[in-house]
């Protein structure tokens, strides 16, 4: 009787333990995936735009930007125009998401339009330049909405059409991380310094077009909602992207010989609070708390920068020298021995005749 009671008690204790483990696992899984978002007004830009560049505003406008009731028109459909809008507050948010509502349209036929737009998270702000309206050799992140295939058109002129490297369908969205040492190669649509990208029909579409840039736990993700289906489609997903805090957000656009209307309708910035369990943090992100001072991407070497071979240590140098010397001595000794043998053979042949 006592034995039966003991077994029953043992079973119930075991069941309770299993149940507790399951609950703990469920809590752990939910805890790890939990992510909350908070709209941060200081980095967001929405209608109405009145007073946008006033003293009390967090935003500055640059170049040919015109405020309308519906949007910020960064460029009109005219040649050689440049416009931008820049936030004034350095961003010290660790994990974030930026939703960009934009519109690119014009009368010109496809590929008779250009150049495109860019969304920035950079050290400098309000600097005019050739990269979709902003400065080259920038420090930070640039996301480019490129509507004109410079590289393909150049190849067409040179009658080198449809080589494998020109198989990018435009418009094309791409991301670039720069520490200030790389120049954006406009003639090749930024291909040499592209981190990742995708094709996207973002011009002259009837429905609203959105892009979301998400930076969570050093992972850069870009998704788009451009088909009017109200769903996000993947474009860029790169882990190990190191971006310093304290940079500025901006959006710019540029026209050249060809033009388009580039409009920014809204920017919605969300701070993401990501739960980091201790184990996950230690195992997956050992460098998570190391302060990032320069933009970089793990395991990615910028184009044109050859990886320097590691210098040899003292022991390796000695061993290499020793074995080289031994090999040379060995070859020399073998050569002398062969020579002597050959001489002797010659001598014996002479005696024979």
Inter-residue contact 189 to 168 (CB < 8 Å): yes
In the complex with Ca ion, the residue whose CB is nearer, 224 or 254, is 254
Q: How far is the CB of 169 from Ca ion (least distance, A)?
A: 13
User: Looking only at residues 305 through 344 of this chain, which bind Ca ion when binding is defined by CB under 5 A?
Assistant: none
State the CB neighbour count (10 A cutoff) for residue 231.
Answer: 9
Shortest reach from residue 187's CB to Ca ion, in Å: 9
Contacts of 257 (CB under 8 A, 6+ apart): 79, 80, 114
Quick note: the x/- pattern for Ca ion over 88-117, rule CB under 5 A, is ------------------------------
Stretch that binds Ca ion, among 129-137, 138-146, 292-300, 311-319 (CB under 5 A): 138-146
Cα–Cα distance for residue pair 176/295, rounded to 1 Å = 10
- Give the position of tokens 């973002």: 202
- State in angstroms the smallest separation of the CB of 112 from Ca ion: 13
CB 225, min distance to Ca ion, A: 23
Closer residue to Ca ion, CB minimum distance, 125 or 142: 142
- Residue 131 or residue 241: which is nearer to Ca ion going by CB? 131
Task: Quote the least distance from Cβ 261 to Ca ion, whole Å.
Answer: 17
Map tokens 């009671």 to a residue. Answer: 5
Pairwise CA distance, residues 241 & 94, whole Å? 12
- Based on CB atoms, which residue is closest to Ca ion, 148 or 269? 148
Peptide bond just before 145 cis, omega within 30 deg: no
The Cα–Cα gap between 249 and 59 comes to: 10
Interface positions, 160-219, toward Ca ion (CB under 5 A) = 189
C-alpha 170/C-alpha 176 separation (Å) is 17
Other beta carbons within 10 angstroms of residue 284's beta carbon come to: 12
Q: Which of residues 139-168 bind Ca ion (CB under 5 A)?
A: 146, 148, 150
Least Å from the CB of residue 111 to Ca ion: 10
Q: Which positions touch Ca ion (CB under 5 A)?
A: 146, 148, 150, 189
């Amino acid at each position: 009787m006592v034995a039966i009671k003991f077994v029953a008690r043992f079973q119930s204790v075991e069941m309770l333990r299993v149940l507790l483990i399951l609950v703990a696992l469920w809590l752990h899984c939910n805890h790890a995936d939990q992510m909350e978002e908070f709209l941060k007004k200081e980095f967001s830009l929405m209608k109405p735009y009145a007073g946008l560049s006033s003293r009390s505003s967090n935003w500055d406008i640059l170049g040919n930007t015109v405020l309308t009731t519906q949007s910020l028109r960064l460029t009109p459909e005219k040649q050689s125009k440049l416009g931008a809008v820049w936030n004034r507050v350095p961003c010290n948010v660790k994990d974030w998401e930026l939703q960009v509502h934009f519109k690119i349209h014009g009368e010109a036929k496809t590929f008779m339009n250009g150049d495109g737009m860019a969304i920035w998270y950079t050290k400098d702000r309000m600097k005019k330049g050739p990269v979709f309206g902003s400065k080259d050799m920038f420090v930070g992140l640039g996301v480019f909405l490129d509507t004109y295939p410079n590289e393909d058109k150049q190849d067409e002129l040179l009658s080198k059409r449809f080589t494998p490297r020109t198989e990018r369908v435009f418009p094309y969205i791409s991301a670039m991380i720069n520490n200030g040492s790389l120049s954006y190669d406009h003639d090749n649509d930024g291909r040499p310094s592209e981190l990742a990208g995708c094709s996207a029909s973002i011009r002259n579409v009837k429905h609203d077009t959105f892009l979301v840039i998400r930076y969570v736990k050093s992972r850069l993700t870009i998704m788009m909602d451009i088909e009017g289906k109200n769903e996000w489609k993947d474009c860029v997903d790169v882990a190990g992207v190191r971006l310093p805090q304290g940079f500025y957000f901006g959006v710019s656009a540029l026209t050249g010989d060809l033009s388009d209307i580039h409009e920014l309708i809204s920017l919605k910035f969300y701070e993401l609070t990501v739960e980091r369990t201790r184990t996950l943090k230690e195992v997956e992100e050992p460098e998570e708390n190391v302060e990032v001072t320069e933009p970089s991407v793990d395991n990615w070497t910028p184009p044109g920068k050859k990886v320097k071979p590691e210098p040899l240590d003292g022991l390796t140098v000695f061993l290499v020298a020793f074995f080289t010397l031994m090999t040379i001595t060995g070859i020399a000794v073998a050569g002398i021995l062969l020579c002597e043998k050959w001489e002797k053979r010659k001598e014996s042949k002479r005696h024979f005749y």
